[in-house]
Chains A and B, each alone.
Chain A
């Protein structure tokens, strides 16, 4: 049951990414190209998502617990540090180069386009590099 609902939720997300055009790097890159072939569509994706998610979260998070778990699993980090800012800024550079973000690329697997797997392989490579570097810096810190 839990897995079935997860597949269904994934499907809704995947359809949303597909229909909205987030799945298409050409469209994503055009959103960022104000001085060229600008396509404002992605602002509408964001608006549509937030128009549902803001009231939806308000409703859901007002409840004591989710249906299948004991509690809501929410990030409890509050600090805005260099790591967050530089990490996000770095992500934006890569997004501006490739046109895919992780949420666009996962549903794109379904198209079977080899370029999606190329991107995902590089993405996973980058995530593992970051994980490796983080593990090394942590282990070097004096206790």
Chain B
């Protein structure tokens, strides 16, 4: 499944992601990491903290809807893979981000932006294995 190269939209969207990270730090003093936000939603010992995380997720989920209002269509979710792959991939992502302490947003954007060595290493690791996994699945075993 080919996808169009969208340098400007991706650069602009990326800038918004960066802006959101800076604003969350400036106002709430927190790292904007999807793993951390979701992980905290699975704990129920601090109601104020839970509400803040829930508010962030509500805002995030509103993104595609505002996009729909502005452009008349929902963003494309293209799936060149099976539901089985979604479930297996999701489980592995969940285990990996728990041990790795973050994902693309937390390590890849926020961590690198504050020059954390841990985040540099983590980002190199997950990028490398993602490239390797896609290469194996698409060109070696071809499922």
Q: How far is the CB of A16 from chain B (nearest CB, A)?
A: 3
Q: Does B121 contact A45, Cβ atoms closer than 8 Å?
A: no
Contact A15–B81 (Cβ < 8 Å):
no
Interface size on B, as a range, is 35 or more
Q: Across the interface, do B66 and A11 meet the contact criterion of CB distance under 8 Å?
A: yes
Asked whether A56 lies within 8 Å of B22 as measured between CB atoms, the reply is: yes
Confirm or deny: A87 has a beta carbon within 8 angstroms of a beta carbon on chain B.
yes
Contact with A along B12-33 (1 / 0, CB 8 A): 1111111111111111111111
Interface residues contributed by chain A, number (CB under 8 Å) = 116
Nearest CB on B from A40, distance (A): 6
Interface positions, chain B 92-143, Cβ under 8 Å from A, are 92-101, 103-105, 107-110, 112-114, 116-118, 121-123, 125-135, 137-139
Pairwise interchain contact A9-B138, C-beta atoms closer than 8 A: no
Inter-subunit contact A91/B58 (CB<8 Å): no
Most B CB atoms within 10 A — which of A19, A83, A104, A111? A19
- Whether B80 pairs with A96 at a CB distance below 8 angstroms is no
Q: Check if A25 sits within 8 Å of B81, measured CB to CB.
A: yes
User: With A and B bound together, what is the CA distance between A84 and B127 in angstroms?
Assistant: 14
Contact B130–A87 (Cβ < 8 Å): no
Which of B9, B79, B100, B138 meets A20, CB within 8 Å? B9
Which residues of B are interface residues toward A (Cβ below 8 A)?
Answer: 1-7, 9-35, 37-39, 42, 51-52, 55-67, 74-81, 83, 85-101, 103-105, 107-110, 112-114, 116-118, 121-123, 125-135, 137-139
Q: Which residues of A contact B (CB under 8 A)?
A: 2-27, 29-30, 32-37, 39-42, 44-54, 56-57, 59-61, 63, 65-69, 71-75, 77-80, 83-111, 113, 115-116, 118-131, 134
